[in-house]
């Protein structure tokens, strides 16, 4: 547990105790792995449940996220491709999981337990390159882990699903730039569980080629979030801003200019915003430190895993859910009231449009039907699913939420059921966590459990 210092337990997630000492990045030392290709080569959808006998959950995706399960031959073909790629990577067959994949045998219970307890054997996917803040977040969460770079957020989700890594650490929100919407969408599309959270103070540096003075910089390359976080300083410098995949990638781009700049001195006018570690890794000089607009520039990262953590009541827990709402006046107010009525604090609310059925037709006023965007609501609340008041709140919410899923999911590991399902079935209900419209009667009964 020592390695989890400064990390919340998500209920699955403990409320972050955010003393200053908890912030700041950590040391580094990841190995290169190049998982980005995994995403392109694997189209096997819910990889873990399909091929390796991971448990299939009775979750019905919200309509617009439903995707047909892959046919097993397709999965095997894709996995074959992946295995070829995987075995060509250095140190690929290090763990039992790797060996299991190589020999195309299903994972056994001992495979699954081997790497989760020991921090040193945990592989953690992050998006970006070595030297990025995401890598630092992965290492803050699991200081001894092997941090595995991925070229896209979705590749990190897939890497966990396909048992290539144990966890993913991905940004969800910046105190300056706001929510990372892509990861909200991917949380819904994939079947991973939020099992913790890590917060990082992000201190940006302006990097340049050796010998370059800050006055020579006319163009700055970085990740869009980093550019947003340093806007004031960049405006002062009157530079052209350009986007890169991540801050370390920007530093890499900049470093690669080294080879060219002899031929073209013009390239010396480019700077990169990245971490001090990226400067060391890519042979750049730090031209300015702490160029972020706000000294308290914090990015919150989620820790994602295939299995949920067991919620408890021994310490503060935080739970994440996503839901849709029925049409009607004040329905969002009612949804929020289920928490307020039980003294449960909300720490975050986010809404995202429903992608595939974005428009909701409302009423018939004679002038034609009004059409509004339909939304998914993501809420983090401070309570554990092991607490009666949290179960009651979600039972109540289900009365007007046609779709509800616990993201920081809480199970008692009772036959792999969701905790809320376990509780409900223990008292004689047949429940499903989602598509409540189909089970209106059951859910009304479940709802009547509320205080
Ligand atoms: O570019 C990086 O270094 C990252 O780790 C990505 C990222 C992000 O996606 O928000 C992470 C932290 C900072 O807020 C800036 C960028």
47 lines ligand 1 (CB under 6 A): no
Does residue 2 fall inside a structural domain? no
Q: Given pLDDT bands bounded at 50, 70 and 90, which one contains residue 38?
A: very low
Burial class of residue 236, CB neighbours in 10 A (0-12, 13-18, 19+)? exposed
Q: Given pLDDT bands bounded at 50, 70 and 90, which one contains residue 258?
A: low
Same domain, 188 and 165: yes
225 lines ligand 1 (CB under 6 A): yes
Whether 261 is a known active-site residue: answer no
pLDDT at residue 235 greater than cutoff 50: yes
Tokens of 354: 């429903």
Q: Per residue in 24-61, is it b (16+ CB within 10 Å) or e — as a string?
A: ebbebebeebebbbbbebbebbbbbbbbbebeebebeb
Span from the CA of 308 to the centroid of ligand 1 (angstroms): 25
433 lines ligand 1 (CB under 6 A): no
Among all chains, which residue has been given the structure tokens 């390695």?
3
Same domain, 186 and 227: no
pLDDT at residue 420 greater than cutoff 80: no
> Residue 104 in contact with residue 85, Cβ under 8 Å?
no
**Ligand 1 atom with the shortest distance to the CA of 200:** 12
Same domain, 184 and 64: yes
CATH number, domain with residue 348: 3.30.70.260
Span from the CA of 225 to the centroid of ligand 1 (angstroms): 6
Among 301, 377, 381, 403, the active-site one is 301
CA distance 59 to 318: 22
CA distance 353 to 375: 4
Look at residue 309 in the predicted model and tell me its pLDDT. 86
247 lines ligand 1 (CB under 6 A): yes
Span from the CA of 248 to the centroid of ligand 1 (angstroms): 9
Does residue 311 fall inside a structural domain? no
pLDDT tens digits for range 346-357: 999 999 998 766
**3-class secondary structure, 169:** strand
Same domain, 223 and 249: yes
* Mean pLDDT in residue range 215-232: 93
Phi, psi of 33 (to 5 degrees): -140, -30
pLDDT tens digits for range 151-210: 899 999 999 999 999 999 999 999 999 999 999 999 999 999 999 999 999 999 999 988
> Residue 148 in contact with residue 165, Cβ under 8 Å?
yes
131 lines ligand 1 (CB under 6 A): no
Does residue 62 fall inside a structural domain? yes
pLDDT at residue 388 greater than cutoff 90: yes
Among all chains, which residue has been given the structure tokens 């290090």?
94
Of 254, 280, 305, which one is at a domain's C-terminal end? 305
**Ligand 1 atom with the shortest distance to the CA of 248:** 3
Pairing state of beta strands 167-174 and 298-305? antiparallel
DSSP 410-429: B---STT--HHHHHHHHTT-
**Ligand 1 atom with the shortest distance to the CA of 246:** 1
- Segments forming the whole domain that contains residue 235: 205-288
* Count of C-beta atoms within a 10 Å radius of residue 412: 17
Does residue 356 fall inside a structural domain? yes
Span from the CA of 323 to the centroid of ligand 1 (angstroms): 27
Same domain, 104 and 213: no
**Ligand 1 atom with the shortest distance to the CA of 134:** 5
pLDDT at residue 418 greater than cutoff 50: no
Among 299, 319, 411, 431, the active-site one is 299
CATH number, domain with residue 23: 3.40.190.10
Same domain, 190 and 152: yes
Percent of the chain clearing pLDDT 90 (strictly above)? 46
Same domain, 122 and 241: no
**Ligand 1 atom with the shortest distance to the CA of 245:** 1
CA distance 126 to 282: 19
Look at residue 66 in the predicted model and tell me its pLDDT. 38
For residue 379, what is the enclosing H or E element? strand 375-381
174 lines ligand 1 (CB under 6 A): yes
Count of domains forming the chain: 3
Q: Given pLDDT bands bounded at 50, 70 and 90, which one contains residue 15?
A: very low
246 lines ligand 1 (CB under 6 A): yes
CA distance 436 to 18: 37
Whether 299 is a known active-site residue: answer yes
pLDDT at residue 426 greater than cutoff 50: no
Does residue 310 fall inside a structural domain? no
pLDDT tens digits for range 53-95: 222 222 223 333 333 333 344 433 443 333 333 322 223 334 4
223 lines ligand 1 (CB under 6 A): yes
């Amino acid at each position: 547990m020592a390695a989890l210092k400064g990390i919340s337990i998500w209920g699955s997630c403990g409320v972050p105790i955010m003393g200053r000492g908890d912030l700041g990045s950590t040391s580094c030392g990841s190995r290169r792995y190049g998982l980005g290709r995994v995403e392109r080569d694997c189209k096997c959808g819910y990889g873990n449940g399909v091929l390796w006998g991971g448990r299939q959950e009775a979750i019905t995706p919200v309509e617009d996220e439903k995707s047909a399960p892959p046919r097993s031959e397709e999965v095997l073909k894709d996995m074959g491709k992946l295995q070829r790629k995987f075995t060509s990577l250095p140190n690929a067959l290090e763990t039992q999981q790797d060996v299991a994949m190589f020999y195309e045998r299903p994972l056994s219970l001992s495979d699954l337990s081997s790497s989760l307890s020991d921090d040193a054997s945990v592989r953690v996917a992050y998006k970006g390159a070595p030297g990025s803040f995401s890598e630092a977040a992965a290492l803050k969460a699991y200081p001894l882990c092997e941090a595995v770079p991925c070229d896209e957020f979705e590749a990190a989700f897939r890497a966990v699903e396909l048992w290539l890594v144990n966890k993913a650490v991905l940004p969800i929100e910046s105190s300056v730039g706001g929510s990372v919407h892509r990861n909200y969408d991917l949380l819904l599309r994939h079947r991973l569980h939020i099992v913790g959270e890590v917060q990082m103070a992000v201190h940006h540096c302006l990097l340049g080629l050796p010998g370059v003075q800050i006055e020579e910089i006319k163009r700055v390359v970085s990740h869009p979030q980093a550019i947003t976080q340093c806007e004031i300083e960049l405006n002062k410098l009157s530079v052209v801003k350009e986007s890169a995949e991540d801050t370390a990638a920007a530093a890499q781009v900049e470093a690669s200019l080294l080879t060219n700049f002899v031929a073209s001195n013009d390239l010396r006018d480019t700077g990169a915003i990245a971490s001090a570690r990226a400067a060391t890794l890519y042979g750049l000089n730090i031209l300015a430190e702490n160029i972020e607009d706000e000294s308290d520039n914090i990015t919150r990262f989620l820790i994602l895993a295939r299995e949920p953590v067991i919620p408890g009541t021994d310490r503060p827990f935080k739970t994440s859910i996503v839901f849709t709402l029925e049409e009607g006046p004040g329905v969002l107010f009612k949804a929020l009231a289920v928490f307020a009525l039980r003294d449960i604090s909300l720490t975050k609310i986010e809404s995202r449009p429903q992608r595939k059925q974005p428009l909701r037709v409302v009423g018939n006023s004679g002038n034609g039907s009004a059409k509004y965007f339909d939304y998914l609501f993501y809420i983090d609340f401070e309570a554990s699913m092991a607490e009666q008041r949290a179960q009651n709140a979600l039972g109540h919410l289900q009365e007007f939420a046609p779709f509800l899923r616990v993201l920081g999911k809480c199970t008692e590991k009772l036959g792999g059921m969701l905790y809320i399902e376990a509780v409900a079935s223990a008292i004689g209900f047949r429940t499903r966590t989602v598509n409540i419209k189909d089970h209106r009667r059951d859910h009304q009964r479940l709802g009547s459990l509320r205080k």
